[in-house]
Amino acid sequence: MDNKRVALFPGSFDPFTKGHEDIVQRGLKLFDEIIIAIGYNSQKQNRYVPIDRMISLINQSFADEPRVSVITYNELTAGLANRLGAAYLLRGLRNTTDFEFENSVSQMNRYLYKELETVFLITSPAYAGISSSIIREVHKYGANVNEFLPYEL
């Protein structure tokens, strides 16, 4: 029980997309449990999709998958992983821009909590063009974005 491989999948998920879903599905082949951790500061309520709605939509998307759970947090990701006994961070890599950023973040996270390994999955080509920010922008002007999401917005 103690050597369960638990991964934290941290992000803003505003909104959670099919690209994120793909990372979780593939991560389930590597880990026993995945905790989707939404970074959220209740003092700065600047989300596009309200946090409670996002939590329930993600839960709905993984209703048949008991190994996936969703939480919110407002602290250092490394500290959260340590507290939850998650030895892995799961992140997706779409392109070199993601790589440059993720490289520094993962070095810092391992400095903060030396047992913590970040595992990167290269985005499936079908989802490489999807970003939460583009989806927000397009949805804001009334276009249907459901094709890119594992639920209906």
Instruction: Compute the C-alpha angle 150/118/103, nearest 5°.
Output: 100
Q: Which of 5, 26, 47, 94 is catalytic?
A: 94
| Interatomic CA distance for residues 30 and 67, integer angstroms | 12
Radius of gyration of the chain (CA): 15
Is 27 in contact with 121 (CB distance < 8 Å)?
A: yes
- Give start and end residues of each alpha helix (H) in the chain: 18-27, 51-61, 77-84, 96-112, 132-140
| Interatomic CA distance for residues 8 and 93, integer angstroms | 16
Indicate which single residue of 68, 127, 135, 139 sits in contact with ligand ADP (rule: CB under 6 A). 127
Query: Measured from the CB atom, is 5 or 26 closer to ligand ADP?
Result: 26
Is 29 in contact with 112 (CB distance < 8 Å)?
A: no
- 47 near ligand ADP, judged by CB under 6 A: no
Please, what is the minimum distance in Å from the beta carbon of residue 92 to ligand ADP?
2
Structure tokens at 20: 């994120």
Secondary structure class of 99 (helix, strand, coil) = helix
Task: Return the residues of window 94-113 that contact ligand ADP according to CB under 6 A.
Answer: 94, 98
Query: Measured from the CB atom, is 2 or 147 closer to ligand ADP?
Result: 147
Task: Return the residues of window 5-44 that contact ligand ADP according to CB under 6 A.
Answer: 11-13, 17, 19-20, 22-23
Is 94 noted as a catalytic residue in this protein? Answer: yes
Residue 7's DSSP bridge partners are 34, 88
Q: Which residue is nearest to ligand ADP (CB)?
A: 19
Q: Which of 29, 42, 44, 104 is catalytic?
A: 44
Is 44 noted as a catalytic residue in this protein? Answer: yes
Q: Which region among 26-34, 54-62, 92-100, 108-116 touches ligand ADP (by CB under 6 A)?
A: 92-100
Contacts with ligand ADP, residue ranges (CB under 6 A)? 11-13, 17, 19-20, 22-23, 91-92, 94, 98, 123, 127, 130-132
As annotated, the active-site residues are 20, 44, 94, 132
